[in-house]
A and B are shown apart, each in its own frame.
Chain A
């Protein structure tokens, strides 16, 4: 029984990693959202499986909170705060082309493996799952997503994916976080979506784009044209 649960957990981990890779490569905003939802469901599934394995009600709680907040409330909140049009956006020019991005992502995953191994060894001998390494990989890939994407929604989802990664690793090694903390972190995720949604909307209204990554007026060198303007007055 335990063996089966652990194998299933490893399967969830593999799919979780696949979803993280997908978010690096996916060009469409809606596709990114779907991948993020899948990833969150996998996180919840892994939490539930670990709960079965270690007989921890606490982890069931994590699973339920994750299942409600991320796949359900996040997309709803996004729809409320930002315009529908955003979802149909395709990013044609990413900072890196997709094969290069995936290659770097692969490198990050290997790094995550070597970072994660000693950690899960140090926690104790009873746990031997791949969760810590996969979680760190999710964290790093999320951070990497933030550096290659330019559209607002994929960037926002990248932030949430980082949190997913941190949790995927976190619940495997620290199993008894107080429930209040759990709930607070979930609420926090929703506030992130709300504030970033409002910001995106403001950017769209005042600048007329949602490719926030392309905004680059604020640099030391870019100050020159502005001073010209001042002088012209």
Chain B
């Protein structure tokens, strides 16, 4: 099967949605294209899980740099999955606000281009080309982040582009040094991920180390690792919710994938210490994000910080030792992508229902919209690793691997941070869904809550109609059908993967973890 088709589908969809037809046209095309992508990537992943490596048949020009192994197949599958559910969610989310047709086409054209750039990251095997498509993911998603054209959205988009490009500049130098290291090794192989692993034992360690650090810092900016994470909560909260699902669910993972690709190269070289870097940066990210989660005021920012936390968890898992915790890291990548996309769909539904991003302004959600309320609770539990769900299983695998490695301190810290994050997220979710409006005012921590425009009614159990008059305006009573459908579709893997890991998927994760060794 030709991998190149995967890249052509979103490009064709981009061209098609630009046709000036009815409003349903771009939506339909995008859903159909992404569904086709999902089927193709699932087939490809199945094939790779059986132990085949997918390489394009004619070894000419650009095609010779296309190769798919277990790790890239996993990322491809996740991108296609989230792209499909997000496309379905977009229908209801965008249909809700009355957009001019031009804006709508712009959204879908950018959407498909963004999918193209993300798919190209795992498909290409030549590091400098990968750098280019990583940069393309930033550029294709910039206009999606600023889509609402509000002051905040534009600021977020600008910060996103600027910091990502700054990171990309550092990473470019890293990749050029990596190329120099490859030439200096004297090993005659192609400049691909596999070629690098082959040449690594003979590379000058100083060049390899330098390039690793530059790439880790540079691309780590885009992954949202902690000292460089400042743009992430802004961009991931201001973008339209389906785009947030893509940014948080798969874009960060796709970039992290590039960093993970360097670990086997570092392993092959004597005297290179990639694990320490991963462990330290990972733990700092998890810890900082866990404490920031306690004090967020915007529920989309809350899920964005949770992305920082989970990227840290994955990196920590790799740092604990790819041989032991590699499978856990892969499981975490899978679980995080499916769960985080669900969380942002839930957050988007809440936004549609409540009309505000403020945690303090959303109370008694369960009465206004039981569906959105239930989704938010489910999402909150799922993303923080509550027992029968996907992330619980993967985090458990990682912690277990850490203990068998004898890394008690790192594992203990990781477990503690995960617990803090659990309380942080559930505290806010609980207040939003079940908390009475009065309680919200008390927690607003300033007297304006008390002597505001309305008299403060201290008895929480008043009739719903009074709450309605106090609450921010509620536009629709019911969630759009497609939003509900996307929520259900996204919830299925979260539930299923927590209870049972299908055999082919297990094979795929094993293959992916084997790449890391």
Contacts and interface: CB of A to CB of B under 8 A. Distances in A.
Interface of A: 115, 118-119, 122-124, 135-136, 139, 142-143, 146, 152, 155, 159, 162-163, 165-167, 169-170, 173-178, 180-181, 184-185, 188, 191-192, 195-196, 198-199, 202-203, 206-207, 212, 215-218, 220, 223-224, 226-228, 230-233
Contacts of A203: 154, 158
B234 A218 contact: yes
B195 interface: no
A185 B132 contact: yes
A223 to B, nearest CB: 4
B150 A206 contact: yes
A188 B156 contact: no
Interface string B107-132: 00000000000000000001011001
Contact of A220 (B184, B206, B207, B296): B296
13 contacts: A119-B177, A119-B210, A124-B184, A159-B162, A162-B166, A167-B172, A174-B177, A188-B136, A192-B135, A192-B165, A215-B158, A220-B296, A231-B453
Contacts of A227: 297, 358, 360-361, 444
Contacts of A218: 152, 155-156, 159, 233-234, 238
B448 interface: yes
Interface string B140-183: 00110010011110111111011001100110110011011001
Interface in B53-77: 61-62
A177 to B, nearest CB: 6
A59 to B, nearest CB: 14
A119 B206 contact: yes
A-B complex: 7 closest residue pairs judged by Cβ atoms:
A170-B176, A162-B169, A223-B297, A215-B155, A173-B180, A174-B180, A166-B173
B47 interface: no
Nearest to A164: B169
Main secondary structure, interface of A, reads helix
Contacts of B159: 218
A124 B183 CA distance: 10
Contacts of A216: 155
Contacts of A231: 361, 448-449, 452-453
B358 A123 contact: no
A173 to B, nearest CB: 4
B151 A206 contact: yes
Contacts of B151: 206-207, 215, 217
A135 B157 CA distance: 29
A177 B146 contact: no
B507 interface: no
Given A169-B173, A199-B142, A184 B132 contact: yes
B177 A173 contact: yes
Contacts of B453: 231-232
